[in-house]
């Protein structure tokens, strides 16, 4: 074996220059198709509280027929906000499955943000009523912004957006960034905002139920982003049983997602819609929920794409990594 191996580093600037939302959207279709066909594997998730107040996790997996193996080490460090830094942190490592040697280390923050936004849009295109014109979003942080951006890109019929903040106050930065894309209204009453919307997106830290169960009207679709750890939730009690539940991964949803609060609730993995294993007929009165816990395959297929792009463009930092 060669002893003059190389190791590629892609920092946040490199990722920002290489990543393209449309290509990430297509990559998410690939990730879920691989998962549905069980051509890609996701290994058990590590998700642990730290003594520092942060949460640390590892999501890993592989795609044997593509020689793709790796993991994302990521989590949430709320104290970063005091330093004016992003509390969500992520790093992705691609590994040669034949030798175990590292191939590419990538700043995973932007990848996590964009791929989650793309997954949200995919959920909307598959599950929400196509004629939906109104949306309510909970949260105004990084993930809420990317969710709304992708939603408006892939659901052009949406014209009116209500947003709910944790402190009940308008968010000028949120409005400045996204207000030109739709009619953006700060909502004082969460229940009223939900009841007046065709689509509801929850993109918060998952600290507890965000609205009353009675606020959800027939025909509503909900994308739930924030529940990704044991003990987290955004939906009120009883909503899942009133709904048709869709997940990125059934077991993961029951372990760390909204599904943990009703583990017996039946669900459909969204990849099965893409592969035709399940054919969806959506009645006008159906309430649908997409529980987004995040799969290692989502990160790995995007990381692989960026690695190949960077190699072709001679971008990033190459280190000698002999062995």
| Structure confidence at residue 146 (pLDDT) | 98
Residues 208, 209, 214: CA angle, nearest 5 degrees: 170
Residue 24 structural domain: 6-111+297-320
Q: Helix (H, G, I), strand (E, B), or coil: what is residue 228?
A: coil
Confirm whether 251 is domain-assigned.
Answer: yes
pLDDT tens per residue across span 240-298: 999 999 999 999 999 999 999 999 999 999 999 999 999 999 999 999 999 999 999 99
Number of domains within the chain: 2
Confirm whether 175 is domain-assigned.
Answer: yes
- For the chain, residues with pLDDT lower than 50 are none
Q: Please name which of 287, 136, 108, 299 lies closest in space to residue 204, comparing C-alpha atoms.
A: 136
CATH number of the domain to which 56 belongs:
3.30.1780.10
Cα 36 to the chain's mean position, in Å? 17
* Greatest C-alpha distance within the chain: 65
Structure tokens at 100: 């175990």
Whether 99 and 123 map to the same domain: the answer is no
Confirm whether 1 is domain-assigned.
Answer: no
| Structure confidence at residue 4 (pLDDT) | 80
Whether 186 and 280 map to the same domain: the answer is yes
CATH number of the domain to which 183 belongs:
3.40.50.720
Whether 175 and 26 map to the same domain: the answer is no
| Structure confidence at residue 31 (pLDDT) | 98
Whether 23 and 162 map to the same domain: the answer is no
| Structure confidence at residue 3 (pLDDT) | 67
Whether 91 and 144 map to the same domain: the answer is no
């Amino acid at each position: 074996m060669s002893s003059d191996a190389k190791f590629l580093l892609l920092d946040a600037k490199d990722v920002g220059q290489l990543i393209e939302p449309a290509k990430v959207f297509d990559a998410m279709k690939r990730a879920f198709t691989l998962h549905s066909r069980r051509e890609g594997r996701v290994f058990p998730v590590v998700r642990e509280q730290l003594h520092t107040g942060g949460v640390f996790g590892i999501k890993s997996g592989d795609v044997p027929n593509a020689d793709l193996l790796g993991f994302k080490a990521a989590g949430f460090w709320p104290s970063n906000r005091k330093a004016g830094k992003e509390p969500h942190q992520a790093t992705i490592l691609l590994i040669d499955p034949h030798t175990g040697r590292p191939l590419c280390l990538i700043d995973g923050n932007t990848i996590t943000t964009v791929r989650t936004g793309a997954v949200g849009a995919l959920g909307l295109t598959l599950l929400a009523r196509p004629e939906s014109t109104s949306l309510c979003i909970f949260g105004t942080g990084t993930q809420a912004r990317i969710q709304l951006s992708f939603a408006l890109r892939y659901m052009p019929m949406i014209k009116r957006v209500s947003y709910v903040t944790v402190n009940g106050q308008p968010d000028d930065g949120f409005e400045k960034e996204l207000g030109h894309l739709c009619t953006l209204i700060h909502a004082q009453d969460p229940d009223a905002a939900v009841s007046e919307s065709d689509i509801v997106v929850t993109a918060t830290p998952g600290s507890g139920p965000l609205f009353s169960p009675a606020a959800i009207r027939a025909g509503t679709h909900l994308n739930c982003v924030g529940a990704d750890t044991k003990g987290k939730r955004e939906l009120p009690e009883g909503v899942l049983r009133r709904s048709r539940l869709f997940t990125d991964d059934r077991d993961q949803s029951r372990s760390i997602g909204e599904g943990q609060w009703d583990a017996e609730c039946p669900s459909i993995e969204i990849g099965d819609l893409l592969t035709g294993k399940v054919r969806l007929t959506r009645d006008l009165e159906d309430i649908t929920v997409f529980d987004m816990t995040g799969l290692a395959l989502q990160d790995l297929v995007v990381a692989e794409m960026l690695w190949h792009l960077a190699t072709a463009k001679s971008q990033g930092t190459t280190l000698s990594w002999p062995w």
